[in-house]
Structure formats: C-alpha cells, structure tokens
Amino acid sequence: MPRAAVVYEHQGPVEIVEVELSALGPHDVRVAIGASGVCHSDVAAQTGALAFPTPIILGHEGAGTVVAVGSDVTSVAPGDHVALSAIISCGRCRPCVEGTPNLCEWGLPIIFSCAQPDGALRATDPSGRGLYQFASLGTLAEEVIVPEVATVPIPVDVPFEVAALVGCGVLTGVGAVLNRAKVRVGDTVAVIGCGGVGLNVVQAAAMAGASTIVAVDREEWKLQMAREFGATDAVDATAVDVVAAVRERTGGRGADVVFECVGNGALIRQAWDAAGIAGTVVAIGVAGSDEVVSLPAQELSTSEKTLMSCLYGTSRPRLDMPRYLQLYRQGKLRLDELVTRRYSMDQVSEAVADLNASRNARGVVVMG
C-alpha cells in the first residue's frame, strides 16, 4: 500500500502511514506522486492556523504520473505526466466566466473541505479511518486520488520536482506580479519575505521590467538568492528600519508595489507604510486566523494607496501552469534553483522542521 504523511490532530506530529485508496469515481484520477513541495500552508494545516479537518494527508504542491482514470475522465490518460492544481474550478460560475477561476464558487468550498467533490474521502488508514486530503489533493503521499479538474498535463521532459513547485509557490508568486498587481515597466517594487513564494515574486517583477526591486528578509542567504533572482537591492530586516530602507531605495517616495509574502499582520502594516502615496500593497502570505491588520484611517483619505488580497496568484491554473513551464524550458524562469534540499518520504518531519527554521527556499519530497 502507498504511504502518506498524515496529521491526526492539530499540533500533532506528522506520521508516515500506509493508506488504502478506494475505487475510482467517474471523475477521479489516481496519480503516483513523483515529487511534492513542502509549504508553510502545510504547516498551517498541521498547527490548526488553517482550520482544515483532521486526520489529513498534507501536501498541495505536487506532480506525478497518472496511474488510472475514472470512467468519465477525458483530459488525461494513464501514463500522462501531470501537475496538480491546489484550486479547482467549474468553468460555469460568475468568477470562472469572468476569468478568475481561482475564486470559483463551486471549487473553493470543496478544497477547503479537503474532501472530494462528491463529499467522500478516498483514502483510509490501517484502522479504516477516513483521511482528508489537503486541498482535495494530499500530495505528500506516494499515490493519491484527485479530481480530474485538479490535473494539468505537463511535458514529459519537465522534472516532477519543478512541476510540483508550479502547483503553488510559482503560480502564487509569479501570478501575484503578473495577474494581480500587474507590475509595469519602470515600477519600483519591494518584496517582504524571500522564501519560495517571495523569490518567485522577485523574478517575476524582474521579468515585468521593474526598475527597482527591494528584497527584504531576515536571512542573509535568502537575500543573496533574491539578488540572483533579480533583486536590485537587499534589506536585512534585523538590522535596519525596513520602511526607511525601502523609501531610501525608491527615491524617498516609497515603492509603487509592495508584496507581503509571509502572512503576518504587522508585516502587512509595514508593507503599507513602505508603499508610496499611490502605491499598492499585495498580501500573499497565508496568515493565521487570529492575525489582524491595523491601518491608519486618515491615510484612506489623504493618500490613494491600495491594499489588495491575492488568492493563488489570481491564477488560471490550466492556462498559467503550462505557460510558466514553457518559460522554464526556455530558460526564462528559474525553477531548478528554488529547490534547496530534497527529502525522502521518511524525512517529511525533517522537511517541516527545516521549513520552520527557514533553512530552505523550497524543500521537496521526492518519492521513490
């Protein structure tokens, strides 16, 4: 039986258990996972900061090979390589029709339930207990059953560990720049938090033609990576006043666009203060349910700043994921360099610990 990384209760450990997968429903796809990224959102599901149900198979950033398909599946076949989308969409509701399938009225409740579209669970542990799957995926597993609408075919020459990252960190970071903020040539940009998502914001801002890209982080090695990904300036958040440093590097005006990639109310306020009088703040990081953001009310009438949220890079997964992989194949998007360490299934707890200790831009669990 395949193994999976399971959390049985919030704040509990990650356990590697054998799981039994059910028979396929008509719209199901069974995938042998080749690689899965380890993301802060997985930790949030473990701790309960994301109030997902338990017991739950972690992981929402994966890619692999199709093993079998349900009777009504038409878009993929056994043997196909696929990346998995952490958001699914119906294509018919108002957000989908208006070009924002990341806000699908049908899909979001399903992935937040961590069950399958029919409400059932497709995996059980050795005691017969049903297991939820993060975002209806649960990619930290050797094999999974997922909805057909979560599968995106990819070229066979793209490594699974690269395709996995496109399923969340790349889509979120690059999409926030190109789809949500729509960074323009010549814009000044600041990026608070230069982990897996922040580095993709940096390189997308460079691709978009930003004139100044100020990377902000507490770790010198992450700042060095940010420079390699296109940052023009680097600010050590432990050594200086971040707001003053960003303003200094943007001609005293503040940045045109500031991205907050951590998920922290105080840092969103910091981003607001670092933005120019008509600047935009894009909140990308997944915050805990107890986080709040306080803003100076007077500035709502004495400036024209914009604070915007951004879910999954305002992405269209079936369109954007192949596009980003094509940019990678052309050497225009740095994805191999994002992987700072590889782990086995038996090392998932170590991967989580390294994530919490800020040792990785992105750690990837490679199956087999």
Strand pairing class (56-57; 3-7): antiparallel
pLDDT the model gives residue 270:
98
Query: Quick one: 68 and 198 in the same domain?
Result: no
How many domains, the chain?
2
Query: Quick one: 299 and 181 in the same domain?
Result: yes
pLDDT the model gives residue 347:
97
* Residue 353 to residue 264: CA distance in whole angstroms: 20
Query: Quick one: 93 and 199 in the same domain?
Result: no
pLDDT the model gives residue 368:
80
Q: Are 34 and 160 in contact (CB under 8 A)?
A: yes
pLDDT the model gives residue 289:
82
Q: Is residue 62 part of a domain?
A: yes
Strand pairing class (151-153; 143-147): unpaired
Q: What is the CATH number of the domain that holds 192?
A: 3.40.50.720
Among 205, 75, 150, which Cα is nearest to 317's?
150
* Residue 20 to residue 1: CA distance in whole angstroms: 6
pLDDT the model gives residue 290:
86
pLDDT the model gives residue 288:
83
Q: Is residue 158 part of a domain?
A: no
Q: Is residue 165 part of a domain?
A: no
Query: Quick one: 249 and 208 in the same domain?
Result: yes
Query: Quick one: 185 and 67 in the same domain?
Result: no
* Residue 209 to residue 189: CA distance in whole angstroms: 10
What domain range includes position 192? 173-311
Task: Kindly list the averaged pLDDT for each block of 10 residues, start to end, along the chain of length 368.
Answer: 97 97 98 96 90 96 98 98 97 97 98 98 98 98 98 97 95 98 98 97 98 98 98 98 98 98 96 98 91 94 97 96 97 96 96 92 93
Query: Quick one: 201 and 141 in the same domain?
Result: no
C-alpha separations of 342 from 30, 65, 168, 339, 345 in Å: 24, 19, 17, 7, 10
- Kindly give, in sequence order, each residue whose CB lies less than 8 Å from that of residue 250, ignoring residues fewer than 6 positions away: 188, 190, 212, 214, 256, 276
Q: Is residue 319 part of a domain?
A: no
Q: Is residue 330 part of a domain?
A: no
- pTM for the predicted model, two decimal places: 0.95
Buried b (16+ CB within 10 A) or exposed e, 229-250: bbbbbbbebeeeebbebbbebb
Query: Quick one: 240 and 359 in the same domain?
Result: no
Query: Quick one: 98 and 234 in the same domain?
Result: no
Query: Quick one: 98 and 187 in the same domain?
Result: no
Q: Is residue 193 part of a domain?
A: yes
- Kindly give, in sequence order, each residue whose CB lies less than 8 Å from that of residue 61, ignoring residues fewer than 6 positions away: 36, 37, 38, 39, 84, 86, 139, 164, 165, 167, 168, 169
Query: Quick one: 194 and 223 in the same domain?
Result: yes
Reduced to 3 states, what is the DSSP secondary structure of residue 208? Answer: helix
Query: Quick one: 95 and 186 in the same domain?
Result: no
Query: Quick one: 119 and 214 in the same domain?
Result: no
Q: Is residue 246 part of a domain?
A: yes
**Within 13 Å, how many C-alpha atoms sit on residue 288's CB side?**
10
pLDDT the model gives residue 281:
98
Q: What is the CATH number of the domain that holds 58?
A: 3.90.180.10
